[in-house]
């Protein structure tokens, strides 16, 4: 019961952070779940928690969704998420995490030097989805990697939160199906995922209330701070 309580509190925090910044909860939660359950249980459990979190953010921001980007993202994310989930047991994760950490910090530096970047074309989100799908399946969460592209597109607040969440939902659902094919969805994983869903939905609702009160400038600064923190955690091997 104490383990479940700790996991529920962490899941609430995941959803709250993600609802405010659009990402980051999974990156921060993976070390907690790994300590509680072990890596090969933690990643599929985290995926189930992220399904609830992203579904909640999608519904709460449904009026602001940018459907063309979601479709382009899914086109790349679905096949690569399936492939990455099937490779999970055999891939060298440590080098991938450090590479992603360096990328996130470099992105923030680049954004500070180029505060008004040219918006990427919609077609570029197929490649973003592919990279995100593969990385998410192997590392549990790479939400920070996609944030700069959605920001560069000019999305903020509900449009950013909801569109990023709906895009991520496509790859998390794909990962879950692939984990099942790879015998990673044990009874323990499914029970934990179901038990954590109420806390995750509550966190998404609370975060939606907070983000309405944040100015656009503060919103972007919070996201950049989250990118730096996520990058440092990846470089440290978490």
Per-residue pLDDT tens for 71-108? 999 999 999 888 877 776 566 666 766 776 777 687 77
Render pLDDT for 106-137 as a digit per residue (tens, 0 to 9).
777 876 776 666 788 888 999 999 988 887 77
pLDDT of residue 166: 92
> pTM for the whole thing?
0.69
Q: Helices H, strands E: what count in the chain?
A: 10, 0
pLDDT of residue 216: 65
Cα–Cα nearest to 14, from 63, 47, 37: 47
pLDDT of residue 54: 84
Please tell me the total count of domains within the chain. 1
pLDDT of residue 43: 76
Cα 86 to its chain centre, rounded Å, is 19
pLDDT of residue 154: 83
Give me the domain span that covers residue 171: 2-235
pLDDT of residue 67: 93
pLDDT of residue 72: 94
Give the residue ranges of the chain where pLDDT is below 50.
Answer: none
Cα–Cα nearest to 149, from 113, 122, 187: 122
Integer angstrom CA distances of residue 219 from 122, 172, 175, 197, 209: 23, 25, 29, 26, 14
**Interatomic CA distance for residues 114 and 105, integer angstroms:** 14
């Amino acid at each position: 019961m104490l383990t479940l309580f700790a996991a529920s509190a962490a899941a609430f925090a995941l959803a709250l952070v993600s609802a405010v910044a659009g990402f980051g909860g999974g990156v921060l939660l993976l070390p907690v779940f790994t300590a509680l359950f072990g890596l090969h249980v933690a990643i599929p459990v985290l995926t189930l928690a992220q399904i609830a979190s992203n579904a909640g953010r999608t519904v709460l921001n449904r009026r602001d969704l940018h459907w063309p980007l979601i479709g382009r993202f899914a086109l790349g994310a679905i096949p690569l998420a399936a492939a990455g989930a099937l490779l999970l047991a055999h891939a060298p994760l440590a080098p991938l995490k450090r590479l992603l950490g360096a990328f996130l910090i470099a992105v923030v530096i680049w954004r500070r030097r180029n505060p008004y970047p040219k918006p990427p074309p919609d077609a570029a989100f197929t490649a973003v989805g592919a990279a995100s799908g593969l990385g998410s399946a192997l590392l549990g969460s790479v939400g920070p990697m996609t944030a700069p592209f959605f920001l560069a597109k000019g999305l903020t607040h509900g449009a950013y939160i909801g569109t990023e969440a709906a895009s991520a939902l496509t790859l998390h659902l794909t990962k879950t199906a692939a984990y099942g094919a790879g015998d990673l969805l044990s009874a323990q994983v499914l029970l934990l995922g179901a038990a954590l869903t109420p806390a995750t939905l509550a966190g998404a609702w609370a975060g939606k209330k907070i983000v309405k009160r944040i100015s656009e400038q503060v919103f972007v600064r919070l996201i950049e701070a989250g990118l730096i923190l996520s990058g440092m955690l990846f470089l440290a091997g978490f």
